[in-house]
Structure 1
Amino acid sequence: MFANRRTALAGAVVLAAAAGVVAGCDRGASTGPAPLPTGPARPGCPAVLGRAQAAVRQAEKTDFAWNGPTTGPMAVSGKDIVFVAQTMTNPGVAGTAKGVQEAANAIGWHVRVIDGQGTPAGIEAAFSQAIALRPSGIVIGGFDPRLTSHQVAKADEEHIPLIGWHAVDSPGPSGSPRLFTNVTTRVEDVAKASADWVIADSRGTAGVVVFTDASIPFAKNKSELIKKELATCPAVRLLSEENIPIPDSSSRTPQEVSSLLSRFRDRWTHSVAINDVYFADAAPALRAARKKGAGAPFNIGAGDGDPSAFQRINSRQFQAATVPEALTEQGWQIVDEFNRAFSGEPASGYVAPVHIATAANSGGVTSWDPRGYRAAYRTIWGRRASRMRPPGGCVTGCEQAPGRSGRRAGQIRDAAR
């Protein structure tokens, strides 16, 4: 979910062979074209295709019942939560903060947001400011707590529970760094869903470009998982892996897309990116090449699902799908997890299932907001929701810590998610 990137791995490559070629590429490196396979072409991958189609149908559902927690402690009253945001310019971070605010209104708590503005110094200052307020709990909103180890240790000394949102690689409790829990989808599930969509949409015949940011370990791991799943269908070809650091996306993606179009022409049918932001920056180059917004290459974002991505999908402008985060739902889960921590109970262990959003199933909305969780959490807490404050650009108590923000600074960590 955060930042910009770039590099090219070239060549028309059978994905099974390409996985070994691209895995060792460093940032800025480029491989030569791999030899094309000889012998008769395989007509797709029927068994893999059938499995992928079934998985995609399941992930595209929008009417499934709530499968999260239905039991837990009654609401603890009078709590104050501080949400330390990596940057509020990142749609994922901002959306989750609003979800926390909405849930806090329902349970009767107060929330303050402190904006780290996307810089290490700003995040450290925001975290220190949060600890100085002596809140009941602190949310680590979209940044790696290992980069603020001093503040994490201080919060532990002060017995302030910490809950991460996309703070470490895996969902659930973390011992190092110490987090009561980390709220996120599983990267394995997100990667698989996006690759399965490509296999299903192309009926096992895609020529794929993967966009990643190898400077972010989480993002690099996600793209490796995407390639691994694509490789389960031998007829799917990995044409190139583009390593473009997210902060550089706006300047480098258009140029790289133009180069890809020149190199691969109609062989480039699909793309997968570790974050939707790449397709915002690819659109001008695709448009300049007179590509149709609803035509190939058909693009899917493996993570984030910010409003601009939904707008591109709904208007069929150079993005066909995304695997979005349920940001408001995750905000409610964060509040419920804090309530469990305050009550001396363990974390819920809930991990939201992945969802694939397309123009056909989004209903024209600009976010993924599944049903059922609000009523479920209100029932658990045993309280009727108080009057909600209308959402705005920032939630109650939002302030900035010292530091500078850039155009895409907030997307560097979320890119990986």
Structure 2
Amino acid sequence: MPVLRRRRTALGATLLLAMTAAPLTGCERDVSTGPAPSPVRPTAAGCPTALARATEAVRRAERTDARWTGPVAGPRAARGKEVVYVAQSMTNPGVAGTARGVRDAARAAGWSVRVLDGQGTPAGIQAAFGEAVTLRPAGIVVGGFDPRLTSRQVAAATARHIVLVGWHAVDAPGPSADPPLFSNVTTRVEDVARTSADWVITHSRGRGGAVLFTDASIPFARHKSQLIRAELATCPGVRLLAEENIPLPDTGSRTPQAVSSLLSRYGARWTHSVAINDVYFADAAPALRAARRKGTGAPFNIGAGDGDPSAFERINEGAFQTATVPEPLAAQGWQIVDEFNRAFAGAPASGYVTPAHVATAANTGGATTWDPPGYRTAYRRIWTGGGAR
């Protein structure tokens, strides 16, 4: 699926405002290794305490049967509301997947939804947002872009008392005063970063050599990579061999060359990789394949966020990606509708943040998305008045 393989996620949307930063460099250290189709098994763990903590955290994150921890109470669904989803780009699977979730939830609530495609450019996003404001809907979704890019349109929407709810619009989940969002629906970057690093610690059994792929031009991505580094550092047995700074728009052209260089430099010492976005592994695969590495062997790769369908395909097929920490796109679409409904009723935001989840071939069941169980039932009960008060 070429669109999926070349997709850019909500992180890519923030490139529209990013400033170029100097590349980050890693330093080479000695690392023990033992690449195999299963986790590396050294003779002794390099960080017993950190390994035990990380193993328990990953075990919880890999569960697929956890009970619903989101809202179970709230206002009945308002009648006949219209919302407009302003999309960074509908070729972005994260944005498109959330838009589908909003549409699905709106049908359940008895609302109408219109999607306007910003086509991935500042001018396109501003035009789409401007059109959304002229439609005078009850609410507008800021879908995968920084609302500071559309400050004039945001001000116009606020002046017309149009409720704004973001999806990956700012760094943190929940309400935002500046820019003015009733709520921003996203996972916590701290949770995603820590979980992905814990997975490396666990999978390597406390001894490995890791490479981190990031885009230092994006403040959000730079912050995420800093958090990953900090968590990896809790286990001295897992050494950070290098940090590759490759801007998201350049992953197709630069990642294969970087991977070839890393293989030449580190060889078998390179056992694991973490990337701030799954797209790096789509572009790393040709170089790993050319080096005759096995798709199920080292380096074992995990995406720290996103989890688009192509990442699930690589994981399920054993094609140079072992895990991802995915966004629950459909569930987040339903949460967006619930947040609007709370705003329309004069209630506070729900405060719910989806826990980080680790998807592997062992727990996906062949699926190409992840959503927590029970969310549709919970939201329907709330909107029909059946939820607890």
TM-score by structure 2 length? 0.90
1:345 aligns with 2:347: yes
User: Out of 260, 265, 268, which is 1:266 matched to?
Assistant: 268
8 Å contact 1:183–1:330 — kept in the other structure? yes
Tell me the CA shift for residue 146 of structure 1.
1.1
Which whole-Å deviations, capped at 9, do the CAs of 1:170-222 have from their partners, x for residues lacking one? Answer: 00000000000000000000000000000000011110000000110000000
Taking structure 1 as reference, are residues 43 and 76 closer, same or farther at Cα in structure 2, changes over 3 Å only? Answer: closer
Instruction: Give, as a single letter, the amino acid of the residue that structure 1 aligns with 2:126.
Output: E
Tell me the equivalent position of 1:27: 22
* CA distance, structure 1, for counterparts of residue 292 and residue 28 of structure 2: 29
Written as runs of structure 1 = structure 2, the 5 A alignment for 1:1-12 is 1=9, 2-3=11-12
Written as runs of structure 1 = structure 2, the 5 A alignment for 1:3-402 is 3=12, 26-28=21-23, 30=25, 33=27, 43-382=45-384
More displaced stretch, 144-153 vs 291-300: 144-153
Structure 1 counterpart SS, 2:175: coil
* CA distance, structure 1, for counterparts of residue 192 and residue 210 of structure 2: 17
Tell me the equivalent position of 1:409: none
Instruction: Give, as a single letter, the amino acid of the residue that structure 2 aligns with 1:373.
Output: Y
Tell me the equivalent position of 1:389: none
Which whole-Å deviations, capped at 9, do the CAs of 1:70-96 have from their partners, x for residues lacking one? Answer: 000011001000000000011100000
* CA distance, structure 1, for counterparts of residue 236 and residue 267 of structure 2: 21
8 Å contact 2:74–2:342 — kept in the other structure? yes
8 Å contact 1:190–1:354 — kept in the other structure? yes
Which whole-Å deviations, capped at 9, do the CAs of 1:32-59 have from their partners, x for residues lacking one? Answer: x45769xxx9951001000000000000
Taking structure 1 as reference, are residues 342 and 127 closer, same or farther at Cα in structure 2, changes over 3 Å only? Answer: same
Which whole-Å deviations, capped at 9, do the CAs of 1:102-125 have from their partners, x for residues lacking one? Answer: 000100000000000000111000
TM-align CA RMSD? 1.7
Tell me the CA shift for residue 26 of structure 1.
4.5
Structure 2 counterpart SS, 1:209: strand
Which whole-Å deviations, capped at 9, do the CAs of 1:307-363 have from their partners, x for residues lacking one? Answer: 000000000110000000000000000000000000011100001101000000000
Instruction: Give, as a single letter, the amino acid of the residue that structure 1 aligns with 2:330.
Output: T
Taking structure 1 as reference, are residues 129 and 147 closer, same or farther at Cα in structure 2, changes over 3 Å only? Answer: same
* CA distance, structure 1, for counterparts of residue 359 and residue 99 of structure 2: 22
Structure 2 counterpart SS, 1:173: strand
Taking structure 1 as reference, are residues 70 and 231 closer, same or farther at Cα in structure 2, changes over 3 Å only? Answer: same
Instruction: Give, as a single letter, the amino acid of the residue that structure 2 aligns with 1:273.
Output: A
Instruction: Give, as a single letter, the amino acid of the residue that structure 2 aligns with 1:254.
Output: P
8 Å contact 2:28–2:241 — kept in the other structure? no
* CA distance, structure 1, for counterparts of residue 268 and residue 210 of structure 2: 11
Structure 1 counterpart SS, 2:176: coil
* CA distance, structure 1, for counterparts of residue 66 and residue 123 of structure 2: 43
Instruction: Give, as a single letter, the amino acid of the residue that structure 1 aligns with 2:216.
Output: A
8 Å contact 1:107–1:383 — kept in the other structure? no
Instruction: Give, as a single letter, the amino acid of the residue that structure 2 aligns with 1:248.
Output: D
Tell me the CA shift for residue 28 of structure 1.
3.6
Structure 2 counterpart SS, 1:150: helix
* CA distance, structure 1, for counterparts of residue 373 and residue 24 of structure 2: 45
Tell me the CA shift for residue 234 of structure 1.
0.9
**Identity of counterpart residues, as a percentage?**
69
* CA distance, structure 2, for counterparts of residue 109 and residue 381 of structure 1: 12
Structure 1 counterpart SS, 2:181: coil
* CA distance, structure 1, for counterparts of residue 366 and residue 167 of structure 2: 27
Tell me the CA shift for residue 370 of structure 1.
2.0
Which whole-Å deviations, capped at 9, do the CAs of 1:222-249 have from their partners, x for residues lacking one? Answer: 0000000000001110000000000000
Tell me the CA shift for residue 257 of structure 1.
0.4
Structure 2 counterpart SS, 1:169: coil
* CA distance, structure 2, for counterparts of residue 35 and residue 245 of structure 1: 25
* CA distance, structure 1, for counterparts of residue 200 and residue 30 of structure 2: 21
